[in-house]
Structure 1
Amino acid sequence: MARWQPDAPGRLAAAALDLFEERGYENTTVIEIAERAGLTKSTFFRYFSDKREVLFGGGTVTGLLIEGIASAPPAAGPLDAVADALDALGRTFFTADRREFSGRRQAVLNANAELREREALKRIDLAASMIEALNRRGVPGLTARVAAKLGMLVWEIAYDQWIDTGNSEGFGPLARQALADVRAAKAVR
């Protein structure tokens, strides 16, 4: 690929994923990723701090969650605001054209303890961002914390279903169903 072609971050992520699948995460270097993408090492570091971060999408998801919570209708309760944010993720980030990549990415993460740890830390950071966004909406601290933690549980359930190759449902509807299941669980004794 010529260096002038667009979407360097996307090309780097695709190249990294291919190499991680072929050689393993530990056996792949930044230089190999950049070369596979038809770019230079310095271009790689313009977008990512290290080879782990090529799989974690920067702050895109965080921004979408915060914006989704902020733009929820004023009368929306905390869980409904989180659901609106998850819907926004489904419309703009977890789209049908990203499903295969996301499933392959998850398989690479599952095969590597360091990447699983990074994913867990990322989810903690996402929950903290949701708590802050809910606080800005006037949701009290403990309520915001519970809503954000439940939101992350809903996310995990919906994401696992969404990346399943046998599933064709969109992320947003899966998240709404998972939220309904979580709400129904409170009635179980």
Structure 2
Amino acid sequence: MSSYTVLAASVAHSLTEKNSEFLTFLQPVTDREQAMQWVQHYRERYKDAAHVCWAYIIGNTRQPQTQAFSDDGEPNGTAGKPMLHVLTERELGNSLAVVVRYFGGIKLGAGGLVRAYSAAVSQASQLATLVTLSPKVQLSINTDFAFEARIRQLLAQYGGELLSADYQQTVLLKLLLPAESSDTFTQQLQNISAGAIQITAPENTA
């Protein structure tokens, strides 16, 4: 579970290709329902458009939670799929791309459509602001007092956060760590304590 980028803010862009106008909108979304609400919004806003094509990808673009696309009446494979490809290549996780096409009287052909829809989303994506999400895991650690200082030191080293500390006969610590560091962190704890530190199975939190 490594860090990945997501779309941070909406983007609007216009492209004209052989008199056809391609209006592109990128929207941050976190699930299919939200994406479909935005698609409906643009359908109603541009009722006179020839096509309202879309594609979305949720989560990490390299391992998406879900993704989908629609050609909305354009020849099969000429709109939605190329749009999704651009979102994936540009690593625009949690994003919806909608391209509204106004036909200009000149047919573009299948290859021309693929290029136009790809270019529309690609140019819009160049204006996009991305943020990096780092999945985190929560660990519960039961340890002797002797190891607490070393654990805190390692926690800081790996960019983790101490959520709580409960002092009884032993110390019970609850930690939040970047997921990509948790295995190494856990291994180091086992090494310094010769396996004496008890670590519960991590829970995904993001």
Shorter-chain TM-score bucket reads under 0.3
Higher helix share: 1
Higher strand share: 2
If asked which structure has higher relative contact order (CA below 8 Å, sep 6+), I would say 2
TM-score (norm 2): 0.22
TM-score (norm 1): 0.24
